[in-house]
Amino acid sequence: MADGYHINVVRHLPTAGNKQRKYIGWTDEPIVESAELHRCLAPGQFVYGSDLLRARQTAALYFPKAVYTADWRWRECNFGEFEGRTYADLERDMNYRNWIDDPCMFAPSGGESLRELEARVLSAHLELPNGSIVVTHGGPIRALLTKFSPTVKTFWSWEIPHGSGYRLEWENEQAFKEGTACTSISAVPIMAKETL
């Protein structure tokens, strides 16, 4: 489609906290170094994304020649009192159970609900030019996919592995700006990985 509009969203590479299955929202952890060489398959001149270190480091590896524009609105959900804790730490906490059961209505103490997360992500999303690449976190990507999916899916039903990417396509810029459902959402290979 000649006048189509699309964006690509990429989840950052994992951190130590991610590997320990902790809630890592606004904690500014670095990515875990790996023995893999990341080679960009889809170079971008400009890349947008979260201001947190793990997103910036991932963008530097994946898109080393791009100019990175950091924006706090692309941050992960603020998990408040759940930050740095695991499911096992929280499973008996009634506030946590309420949040898991209805994350749009409930927020962790000192944190934000998924409705609040979605509002800030959508405000950043509207400013993206056609063809943008965004390096962000699982929560913002799930929020976009849930909001714009042409089929009904829940927030938690999206599987977003670290380092994965999705391409969201709209018929045209007007459909993008009006927030209509995508014409297509597809998982895309962002990188080729070669073990050293």
Secondary structure letter of residue 118 according to DSSP = H
pLDDT for residue 28? 95
| Predicted structure pTM score | 0.89
The predicted-structure confidence for 128-170, as pLDDT tens digits, reads as follows 999 999 999 999 999 999 999 988 888 888 999 999 999 999 9
What does 26-73 look like in DSSP terms, one character per residue?
S--PPBPP-SEEEEESS--SEEEE-SSHHHHHHHHHH-TTSEEEE-GG
pLDDT for residue 144? 95
Is 103 contained in some domain?
Answer: no
Domain of 126, CATH number, reads 3.40.50.1240
Number of domains observed in the structure of the chain: 1
Is 91 contained in some domain?
Answer: no
Q: Which residues pair with 194 in a beta bridge?
A: 37
pLDDT for residue 11? 94
Spans of the chain below 70 pLDDT: 1-2, 33-44, 190-196
pLDDT for residue 196? 30
Query: What is the residue type of 105?
Result: M
Is 84 contained in some domain?
Answer: no
Is 29 contained in some domain?
Answer: yes
pLDDT for residue 29? 95
pLDDT for residue 194? 42
pLDDT for residue 43? 58
Is 11 contained in some domain?
Answer: yes
Which structural domain range is residue 168 located in? 5-78+114-195
pLDDT for residue 103? 86
Helix/strand/coil percent split, the chain, to 5: 35, 25, 45
Q: Which conformational region is residue 131 in: left (phi greater than 0), alpha (psi within -120 to 50 degrees), or beta?
A: left
Q: What angle do CA 21, 151, 71 make, to 5 degrees?
A: 50
Is 95 contained in some domain?
Answer: no
What does each C-alpha distance from 91 to 11, 94, 105, 187, 190 come to in angstroms? 26, 8, 19, 32, 35
Is 86 contained in some domain?
Answer: no
Is 98 contained in some domain?
Answer: no
